[in-house]
């Protein structure tokens, strides 16, 4: 059997969650909440089921959900997308990413990614025969040097993948970043894939600069977003992609044969829930309180905090504790101290010795307190 992805193992999220479960550790590795989603939302889904919304959704997604997403996108980013032709509901962000990558990448096309990078990008590019061109970013700021990006661009560059708020580093792209990006590619045929699944999780009054807000870039961009992250329903696996019609038309050709469509009652429930904008506008406050409390706790430990501007992840360095590799230390921390994290070197194609661990703080206060108690003993 000839592997199509010889260098790819099981994703770190599965590996660390399995280890956490095996040894009974507090699982701050894979990003998901340990509290319930809104009862109003589950009631809406139950009602949709009782009303008989239990058969295939339209291929592009339940129309009322697409309409609500169009309203939200216009309200937040001033961008008008046609729900009929420019918004597609996907089985989570990961399927949307895979579909978007397969829509544009042909053999030998180059795709620029910034590392640390979410672990699904590179395998999807490689499966399409594409070539990954990565630019490695360093803590504490993980700033993109656009001069370096310019040097990576060739006449084979097909796409650039952005991710803001960023997983795993919790950094965000600023307006200047997007302007610099635009000046680099304005005269070239380069697509953008903008992974914005943490769009609503942004702190300290910062603004999320969606690519949707930049008309010149929007015309060549797939924007990927999530409904699991904002509404605490990662297990429902509902996300979406927005793109101009000429791109979405091609995206749907693949989407229809990958999943055809996404579970119907969840889409009805989410559509109703989105009608109340407080349900997403309240998220920065909700998560910032968790971030602040977790950071305060970690300040009493020997871990050193990295900045966190967005997402529900907090990264730390641990040079005062050990010089172990992050993978070895993350495993030992899980087994000996009962707290699971994600070692971030796995998000670099060539690894790193940055010694950074990522913790998810989308957890109940008592879980965060218990985790901090354990981390104080390290």
Contact 230, 280 (CB under 8 A): yes
144 or 340: CB nearest ligand GLN: 340
Does residue 30 interact with ligand GLN by CB under 6 A? Answer: yes
Least separation, in Å, of the C-beta of 167 and ligand GLN?
A: 5
Least separation, in Å, of the C-beta of 29 and ligand GLN?
A: 7
CA distance 226 to 204: 22
| Strand-pair partners of 360 | 313
96: three-class secondary structure by DSSP: helix
> Position of tokens 């999807």?
124
| Strand-pair partners of 356 | 317
CA distance 268 to 248: 22
Least separation, in Å, of the C-beta of 228 and ligand GLN?
A: 9
Angle between helices 92-104 and 245-258 (to 10 degrees): 120
Number of amino acids touching ligand GLN (CB under 6 A):
5
Does residue 94 interact with ligand GLN by CB under 6 A? Answer: yes
Token pair listed for 81: 């997308």
Does residue 34 interact with ligand GLN by CB under 6 A? Answer: no
15 or 88: CB nearest ligand GLN: 15
Least separation, in Å, of the C-beta of 13 and ligand GLN?
A: 3
Instruction: Pick the binder of ligand GLN from 167, 180, 264, 367 (CB under 6 A).
Output: 167
Q: Is 11 exposed, middle or buried (0-12, 13-18, 19+ CB in 10 A)?
A: middle
Least separation, in Å, of the C-beta of 20 and ligand GLN?
A: 12
Does residue 13 interact with ligand GLN by CB under 6 A? Answer: yes
Does residue 280 interact with ligand GLN by CB under 6 A? Answer: no
185 or 340: CB nearest ligand GLN: 340
Does residue 337 interact with ligand GLN by CB under 6 A? Answer: no
170 or 301: CB nearest ligand GLN: 170
Phi then psi dihedrals of residue 110, to 5 deg? -100, 140
CA distance 273 to 267: 10
Least separation, in Å, of the C-beta of 229 and ligand GLN?
A: 8
Token pair listed for 145: 């040097």
Least separation, in Å, of the C-beta of 222 and ligand GLN?
A: 18
Please spell the DSSP secondary structure of 119-143, one letter per residue. Answer: TTHHHHHHHTT-EEEEEE--TTT--
30 or 221: CB nearest ligand GLN: 30
> Position of tokens 């620029």?
112
Does residue 233 interact with ligand GLN by CB under 6 A? Answer: no
Least separation, in Å, of the C-beta of 371 and ligand GLN?
A: 16
Cα 2 to the center of its chain, rounded Å: 30
- Using DSSP, how many helices (H) and how many strands (E) does the chain show? 15, 13
Q: The dihedral of CA 178, 179, 184, 188: what is its sign?
A: positive
68 or 167: CB nearest ligand GLN: 167
68 or 99: CB nearest ligand GLN: 99
Does residue 165 interact with ligand GLN by CB under 6 A? Answer: no
Does residue 31 interact with ligand GLN by CB under 6 A? Answer: yes
31 or 61: CB nearest ligand GLN: 31
| Strand-pair partners of 343 | 357
Least separation, in Å, of the C-beta of 27 and ligand GLN?
A: 10
Which residues in this chain contact ligand GLN in the complex, by CB under 6 A?
13, 30-31, 94, 167
């Amino acid at each position: 059997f000839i592997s199509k992805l010889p260098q790819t193992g099981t994703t770190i999220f599965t590996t660390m969650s399995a280890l956490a479960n095996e040894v009974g550790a507090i699982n701050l590795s894979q990003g998901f909440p340990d509290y319930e989603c809104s009862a109003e939302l589950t009631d809406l889904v139950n009602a949709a089921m009782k009303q008989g919304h239990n058969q295939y959704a339209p291929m592009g997604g339940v129309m009322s959900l697409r309409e609500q997403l169009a309203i939200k996108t216009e309200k937040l980013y001033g961008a008008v997308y046609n729900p009929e032709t420019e918004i597609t509901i996907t089985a989570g962000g990961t399927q949307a990413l895979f579909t978007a990558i397969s829509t544009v990448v042909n053999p030998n096309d180059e795709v620029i990614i910034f590392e640390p990078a979410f672990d699904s990008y590179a395998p999807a590019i490689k499966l399409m025969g594409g070539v990954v061109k990565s630019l490695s970013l360093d803590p504490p700021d993980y700033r993109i040097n656009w001069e370096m990006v310019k040097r990576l661009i060739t006449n084979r560059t097909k796409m650039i993948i952005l991710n803001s708020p960023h997983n795993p580093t919790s950094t965000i792209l600023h307006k200047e970043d997007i302007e610099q990006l635009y000046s680099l590619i304005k005269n070239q045929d380069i697509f953008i894939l903008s992974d914005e699944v943490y769009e609503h999780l942004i702190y300290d009054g910062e603004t999320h600069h969606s690519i949707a807000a930049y008309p010149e870039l929007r015309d060549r961009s797939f924007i990927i977003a999530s409904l699991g992250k904002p509404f605490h329903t990662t297990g429902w696996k509902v996300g979406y992609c927005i793109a101009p019609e000429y791109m979405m038309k091609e995206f749907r050709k693949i989407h229809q044969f990958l999943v055809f469509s996404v579970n119907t009652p969840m889409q009805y429930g989410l559509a109703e829930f989105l009608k109340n904008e407080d349900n997403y506008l309240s998220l920065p406050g909700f998560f910032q309180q968790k971030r602040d409390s977790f950071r305060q706790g970690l300040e009493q430990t020997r871990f050193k905090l990295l900045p966190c501007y967005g997402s529900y992840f907090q990264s730390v360095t641990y040079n005062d504790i050990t010089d172990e590799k992050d993978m070895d230390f993350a495993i030992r921390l899980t087994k000996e101290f009962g707290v699971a994290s994600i070692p971030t070197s796995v998000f670099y194609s060539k690894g790193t010795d940055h010694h950074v661990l990522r913790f998810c703080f989308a957890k109940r206060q008592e879980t965060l307190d218990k985790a901090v108690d354990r981390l104080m003993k390290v």
